[in-house]
Structure 1
């Protein structure tokens, strides 16, 4: 038995919480469930029944470089439509790729955080 009952959230660090929140709402069509604008501003976006995405505004005295080895992967049954929609919204995306029964592509948010979308059957 695992020590944990579920994955709660995935943190993505951002430079400007307001700009990032707007990008995730407008580009990815997310709806926030919680916001905090204190010293450590965060915005939480629930994603289906899985873990949420939490945007965390880093402090100006903290260093940050977007992660390239760890990143969230979203699942979409209509992956071609999602790819087309993100591309049309000016999002930097890779080409659709196939690996056996899995189709996927990567894209980046306005802070350079790597994200991925996959579909498998």
Structure 2
């Protein structure tokens, strides 16, 4: 038996303005797998990691926070090919920020249709 009190992260909740639009965007554009949609929230998944729960929320709700007046991401995703993903998101008209590098680690930020700031790295 492990001494740890927790064994993992089961899900992450993301507030969205329009659940139907967000479900379409996350499942079609980002290719998340839709597990179910009960109308007020939807559960999606990736090959690995916690479930991604979209919750229809108030218009000004976001999953990021602010530091020195700038939005900071709360959710970090991974990819095997950051340049391919970046080009794909640009082609899909997703709002993306330039790829950055920090000590050999590449990453960029992008926004979902509700304005949630997300990060992806390789």
Length-normalised TM-score, structure 2: 0.85
Query: What per-residue deviation string (whole Å, max 9, x for no partner) do you get for residues 55-104 of structure 1?
Result: 0012xxx5633223452111101111000000110000011100012100
Q: Decide which of 11, 15, 34 is 1:9's aligned counterpart.
A: 11
Root mean square deviation of aligned Cα: 1.4
2:30 maps to which residue? Answer: 28
Report the 3-state secondary structure (helix = DSSP H, G, I; strand = E; otherwise coil) of the residue aligned with 1:5: coil
Distance 2:79 2:28 in 1: 18
Q: In structure 1, list runs of 5 or more residues that go unmatched.
A: none
Length-normalised TM-score, structure 1: 0.86
1:108 maps to which residue? Answer: 111
Residues 70/91 of structure 1: CA separation in 2 closer, same or farther (3 Å cut): closer
Q: Which portions of structure 1, spanning 4 or more consecutive aligned residues, are displaced by more than 4 angstroms?
A: none
Aligned residue pair count: 113
Would you say the 8 A contact 2:42–2:54 is kept in 1?
Answer: yes
